Structure 1
Amino acid sequence: MLNILIPVDGSRSALRAVEYVVQYRAVHDEVLNVNLTNIQPRLPRHITRFASSANIKILQQERAEEAMADAIELLSKSGVQHTVHVGKGDTADEIVACARKVQAQKIVMGTTRKNALTRFFQGSVVNKVMAMSDLPVEVVARENAGRLERFGIPIGLGLTFLWLAVE
């Protein structure tokens, strides 16, 4: 049985990684145990001091369930055995920790195609996980990033440098 971890954040890219695993199972006719994980960020102090910890946990659980709903539905319809894990904290750290906890044999992650400049300024959870984990990480790329992501950041960066040069 192959034990796989799939981080899911509710995006189309993450769902594409789940679809990839379902297709993999159909082609290889191998028994899979899929672990879905959703990592909720820690909320800032100025928010948490006004809400009880119980309410914060409920909010994070609802967000996690919403983010994983489509992935769970797809796996259930396909008959793939799966378990659900919810973490809290830094996304890359928690993904690697969850992979160790569930003794995953590989991590399958979805991503959007972006240029190097965009990835540099936005950061990449996929790159961080690949650097931190000793497990194989399969990256399933979806279509290209939107126009704003592809052109907005480089243009904004160029305008910033132009503005600094003028002053």
Structure 2
Amino acid sequence: MRQVLVPIDPSNEDRTRSQISEVVRLYRQEPMEVRLVRVQPRLTSHVAMFFGNRELQQLQHEAGTEELQFAETLLANAGVPHTSTVLVGRSAETIAKAARDFGCDRIVFGEERGLAGRVFGTLAQQVRHLMGGGAQVIGS
């Protein structure tokens, strides 16, 4: 069965809506396993020193879980079963590794706009580069 990875950025609900719409469209064409993922950034050592390792992991997991709720609700309302995962690391590298580890053959990104994407490349472009053709990257 096909598997699709959907990296969620909670800062842009319109992008999340477009990602979920695309996933629902794909799912209706051919049922597949849908995996939402939220990548939490690593905290600086200065911030991390105020927390125990377990407490820090729990805080990051709770924050990521909360940030996935909007996308989870959209998928549930559309009747699309899914699983959700919270990971910690650098976005592009962590998404590419997750896609490999989970055996995903598609990664669905929303449309990115802005100066940073034009200068440094969008997250989708960075992941596409890291995957080297290992999965179909959908989105900008």
Question: Is TM (by shorter chain) over 0.5?
Answer: yes
1:128 to 108, 126, 129: 126
What aligned pairs does 1:28-39 form with structure 2 within 5 A after superposition?
Answer: 28=29, 30-39=30-39
- C-alpha contact (below 8 Å) 1:14/1:111 kept by paired residues: no
Looking at structure 2, the residues matched to 5 and 92 of structure 1 have their Cα atoms a distance apart, in angstroms, of 13
Give RMSD over aligned pairs. 1.8
Looking at structure 1, the residues matched to 119 and 92 of structure 2 have their Cα atoms a distance apart, in angstroms, of 17
Structure 1 residues 80 and 66: CA distance shift in structure 2, 3 A: same
TM-score (norm 1): 0.74
Structure 2 gap segments, 5+ residues each:
none
> Equivalent residue for 2:50?
50
TM-score (norm 2): 0.87
What aligned pairs does 1:1-167 form with structure 2 within 5 A after superposition?
Answer: 1-10=1-10, 11-12=12-13, 13-26=15-28, 28=29, 30-114=30-114, 117-121=115-119, 123-133=121-131, 134=133, 135-139=135-139
Structure number, greater radius of gyration:
1
1:36-87 deviation digits (Å, cap 9, x = unpaired): 1111111001111111112211211121112110111111122212111111
Q: Which runs of 4+ in 1 moved over 6 A?
A: none
Identical positions, percent: 29
